[in-house]
Amino acid sequence: MPYRSTAVLSPGSADRAPLHRVTLTHDQRHLRRKLLHLENDDVVMLDLKEPVMLADGDLLVLEGGGYIEVKAAEEALFEIRPRDRLHLIELAWHLGNRHLPAAVEEGRILIARDPVIRAMLEGLGAIVSEVVEPFHPLRGAYHGTSGDHYHHHGHGGDHHHHG
């Protein structure tokens, strides 16, 4: 019989080590109800009231006690390096204008690989290279939050336009 989880805790909020782990890509971490396959071949039925964007280190609370740790899978990404800080802002604007999930850091931006977007970025003077690492894009400004789970993350996810 599979494990069952109906709640999520932020990293560091549990007092015990997790029983098992589940590794998921960015797209797989946005969910509400799903059967998840753990690294040890067990399964857990996640059944939340509202969709959430799980982050690396989140804990799925198991009915009956215990936790399953969520790990962000490594993904094929583009690392975008600007000439300077102003150029980084310009590149981020172009990516945001195309509604692309992006992880924006001090000296680089990470996006999912897309050859058309790579050509655009290189045309704008960016240095684009292929990397493989966990992907934690920023949440969109219109991404709603729900009080039905125990945490709120400032990264990852989709957005919706109002109006």
| CB-based contacts of 131, cutoff 8 Å, min separation 6 | 77, 78, 79, 110
- 156: which 2 tokens? 């990852």
Q: Where are the domains of the chain?
A: 3-72
Asked whether the beta carbons of 145 and 46 are under 8 A apart, the reply is: no
pLDDT tens-digit map of 48-89: 999 998 989 999 999 988 899 999 999 999 999 999 999 999
Of the options 2.60.260.20, 2.60.120.560, 2.40.50.140, 3.20.20.140, the CATH number for the domain spanning 3-72: 2.60.260.20
pLDDT tens-digit map of 80-129: 999 999 999 999 999 999 999 999 999 999 999 999 999 999 999 999 99
Q: Beta strands 3-9 and 43-53: pairing type?
A: parallel
